[in-house]
Each structure stands twice: as C-alpha cells, then as structure tokens.
Amino acid sequence: MQKFDLNLPLVCEGIIGDGCGGGRIFFIKDGILKAYDPQSEKEVVLLEKIENVKLLSKKACTLFIECQNEKIEFDLPSMKATTIKI
C-alpha cells in the first residue's frame, strides 16, 4: 500500500460522504492527476499535461487545480476538465 502525505499541496483525500471519490487519494505527479484507491491499490489517470501546478483540493465531486496561469476544475462524474485562464 502506498503512503501519501496529505499535508502536501498536490495531494488531497476524498472524504467518505462528501460526494464522489470518498476514500480515494487524489494527487498530481509529473503533471499527471491520478486517483489512488487504497482498497484495490490501483491508480487511475484522470488528467494529463498539467503545467506549473501549485495546489490541488477537492470539494464534493469537483477537484480544483490551481496552476500559475490557470485554474482547472475537474468534474469527477463526467471526467471532464474546465480551464479558466488567470
């Protein structure tokens, strides 16, 4: 089983009962957003080519990715990302 430091800015946990992804760990490594399921011990790639990422957070069924020049909202049910330039 992998270990994740939930205090790191590019790691967040899906809380059981808060919507989608409860119990999974979401993280960004090498510009790739992944979900890790501790029960199956499998990783799934959700989004690639994320550049200059600073922060990853989650609320309900949406992952929020803050980058240097844009913000990305990743909707877990539809598996689609919306990018907002800043």
Average pLDDT score over the chain = 94
Query: Is residue 67 over pLDDT 70?
Result: yes
Indicate the SS3 state at residue 10: coil
Residue-range definition of the domain harbouring residue 69: 11-85
Q: Are 58 and 14 in contact (CB under 8 A)?
A: yes
Task: Tokens for 36, please give them.
Answer: 């890790």
Cα(34)–Cα(74) distance, rounded to whole angstroms?
Answer: 12
Q: What pLDDT is attached to residue 48?
A: 98
Residue 28 lies in a domain: yes
Contact (Cβ atoms closer than 8 angstroms) between residue 34 and residue 78: no
Asked, for residue 6, whether it belongs to a domain, the answer is no
Coil, strand or helix: which one is 50?
Answer: coil
Q: For position 50, which CATH number holds?
A: 2.40.10
What total number of domains does the chain contain?
1
Predicted model pTM: 0.92
Q: pLDDT-based confidence at 1, cuts 50/70/90? A: low
Give the pLDDT band of residue 22 (cuts 50, 70, 90). Answer: confident
